[in-house]
Amino acid sequence: MKHKTHHFAKQEKVEETIAEYMSSPVQSVTRDSTIREVSQMMTERNIGSVLVKNGGEYIGIVTERDLTRKVLGKGLDAETTAVKEVMSSPLITLEGTQPVTDANQFMAKNTIRHLAITIEGRIEGIISVKDLVAFYANPRLRH
């Protein structure tokens, strides 16, 4: 396994979990997919990131920001550049049973906008800054 799931200390009060706000099922591409293919997939599915696989194993993530900074910013050819050349790796994950606030803290501290989520050790979804906005906009959380 090429990802390490981060865990935070358990908290006493019951909070909404990351799994409740993550996007699922996981959208993925192979490491040899071209940037053009990945970009089209993200546009068609209205998503901001996809996980990258090598065989049956997730090895990285590519985001809209990666496409902008690493492809357009460097003038790479979207038709011939493979996603493995611009993906972020190793894949960083959090456990879906953790509170959503843990994801927010971890993402802010590490300047991450998309994060793979595990359930019982298996990658099952992605949480993004957009998902966190939905969480914090939830009227039940306002005091």
Q: What is the pLDDT of residues 49-100, one digit of tens each?
A: 999 999 999 999 999 999 999 898 899 999 999 999 999 999 999 999 999 9
Residue 143's pLDDT band (boundaries 50, 70, 90)?
Answer: very low
Q: The CATH number of the domain where 68 resides is what?
A: 3.10.580.10
Predicted confidence (pLDDT) per residue in 23-62, tens digit: 999 999 999 999 999 999 999 999 999 999 999 999 999 9
> What domain range is 38 assigned to?
3-141
How many domains are there within the chain?
1
Strand order in the sheet with 122-128: 3-6, 91-95, 114-119, 122-128
Does pLDDT of 127 surpass 60? yes
- Of the two residues 3 and 112, the one the predictor is more confident about is 112
pLDDT, tens digit, 9 for 90 and up, residues 2-16: 566 666 655 445 588
The band of 1, judged by pLDDT with boundaries at 50, 70 and 90, is low
